[in-house]
Amino acid sequence: MEPNNKKAKMVNNKFKQNKKKYYQKAKKHVLQVGQRGFLVTCNMNEKACVRECYNLLNVYADQLYGTVADEISKEGDFDSDSDDLDAAVAKCKEEFSERRVRFQNVDTGTTNCLFIKTRLADPVGLGKHIVEDITKTGKAMSRFIMRLVPIEAVCRANMPDIISAAGLLFDKHFLKEPTTYGIIFNHRYNQQIKRDHIIKELADLVNSKNVGNKVDLHHAKKSIIVEVLRGWCLLSVIENYLDRKKYNLAELTCPTQPKTNGNGDGKAAGAVGEKSKEAAAEESAQVADETIDQKSPKEAATTESAEEAAEVDKQKKSVDDTTNDVSADNK
């Protein structure tokens, strides 16, 4: 009986090993140099945010570029009369063996900060289309996504690599026509890249591309996005980034309200309020004076008689006090 038990245990162990191999974990995607995509921030619940990103990006990508099936069919067209059929078959196998997806979540190693890489050549164009549509319709297309920032280049988080990647990127955006720009720098889990140093280096690089480029921190036409995540740096140049609420999808659906405590209209409103308070106080004082002046003759007579009686009582009291003092001295 013992050999049979050992044999059964061996079979079970072998089955478990095969099962583990079959149900192995999916391949983990990580940030790499040369990737492009979208930097997404969320407030907890990252899994739901990833699903929401896939849905949102795929819907708008289908509107701009068509579906993935159409894209694959265009790329897979080849000449049927070609003699090299083996090469054509190998090409088809290579195209359809891997899962062709436009967007893929990538592990960033930071909490509440996602990166969705894409195969699209222009993520900034897709991001601009999404933001303009949400601004136009006023409909909230997301629940968990906070910011959806297009990223054009990924490099290592060191100054030589950042300057090299930024130089290629700035040739595209700042070389031809002079414009206004601003640099927005954020870092997470990295203290080696100093804010002042990188801003100075990038500003000098932009000015070297075109002398007419000027800095505008409040209404820049083009914003340079620099996001440092651990050992990686994400770069992008986005037009009207500040006017589009820094690509915050939640704020795009909220109408802007004038500030009551700021400059301009706010001060005027405050001055009007103060004037109304002063006017009300003056009116109440005038009403009180009028009520005092408009007393009837009887009320005036009674007040005068009461005052005279009080004066007589005071005089009587003073006389009594003097008589008491005199009598005390005589005694």
Furthest-apart CA pair in the chain: how many Å?
154
For residues 34 and 114, membership in a common domain is answered with yes
Give the type of residue at 212. G
Within 13 A of 234's CA, how many CA atoms are on the CB side?
A: 26
For residues 56 and 128, membership in a common domain is answered with yes
Whether 231 and 157 have beta carbons less than 8 Å apart is answered as: yes
Is the pLDDT assigned to residue 163 strictly greater than 70?
A: yes
Q: Look at residues 270, 275, 247 and name the one whose alpha carbon lies nearest to residue 258.
A: 270
Residue 191 backbone zone (phi > 0: left; psi -120 to 50: alpha; other: beta): alpha
Is the pLDDT assigned to residue 257 strictly greater than 50?
A: yes
For residues 136 and 42, membership in a common domain is answered with yes
Q: Length of the chain in residues, anyone?
A: 331
Q: Which of 197, 217, 239 is the last residue of a domain?
A: 239
* Residue 255 is assigned to a structural domain of this protein: no
pLDDT at 300: 46
240 pLDDT band, cuts 50/70/90, is very high
For residues 215 and 159, membership in a common domain is answered with yes
For residues 119 and 178, membership in a common domain is answered with no
Range of the domain at 32: 28-78+91-151
* Residue 249 is assigned to a structural domain of this protein: no
For residues 47 and 143, membership in a common domain is answered with yes
Q: Look at residues 100, 145, 90 and name the one whose alpha carbon lies nearest to residue 120.
A: 100
Q: Which of 239, 254, 276 is the last residue of a domain?
A: 239
Is the pLDDT assigned to residue 298 strictly greater than 60?
A: no
* Residue 250 is assigned to a structural domain of this protein: no
* Residue 163 is assigned to a structural domain of this protein: yes
* Residue 306 is assigned to a structural domain of this protein: yes
* Residue 136 is assigned to a structural domain of this protein: yes
What does the pLDDT average to over 170-190? 95
For residues 321 and 300, membership in a common domain is answered with yes
Residue of 257 and 262 predicted with greater confidence: 257
For residues 182 and 216, membership in a common domain is answered with yes
Beta-strand pair 180-188/214-215? parallel
For residues 99 and 141, membership in a common domain is answered with yes
CATH number (domain holding residue 223): 3.30.2300.10
Q: What is the pLDDT of residues 85-98, one digit of tens each?
A: 777 766 665 555 44
For residues 52 and 132, membership in a common domain is answered with yes
What is the C-alpha separation between 49 and 46, in angstroms, rounded? 5
For residues 220 and 158, membership in a common domain is answered with yes
* Residue 260 is assigned to a structural domain of this protein: no
Residue of 163 and 77 predicted with greater confidence: 163
Helix axes 123-137, 46-65, angle to 10 degrees: 100
**How far is the CA of 265 from the CAs of 139, 261, 262, in angstroms?**
29, 9, 8
pLDDT at 117: 96
> Residue holding tokens 């659906």?
253
Helix axes 195-209, 159-173, angle to 10 degrees: 40
For residues 120 and 49, membership in a common domain is answered with yes
Q: Which of 134, 151, 168 is the last residue of a domain?
A: 151
Total structural domains in the chain?
3
Cβ burial, residue 89 (10 Å; 0-12/13-18/19+): exposed
Is the pLDDT assigned to residue 173 strictly greater than 90?
A: yes
What does the pLDDT average to over 120-142? 93
Q: What is the pLDDT of residues 181-238, one digit of tens each?
A: 999 999 999 999 999 999 999 999 999 999 999 999 999 999 999 999 999 999 999 9
**How far is the CA of 201 from the CAs of 160, 166, 286, 297, 328, in angstroms?**
11, 10, 68, 89, 104
Indicate the SS3 state at residue 116.
Answer: strand
pTM of the model: 0.66
What is the C-alpha separation between 182 and 203, in angstroms, rounded? 9
Cβ burial, residue 42 (10 Å; 0-12/13-18/19+): buried
* Residue 286 is assigned to a structural domain of this protein: no
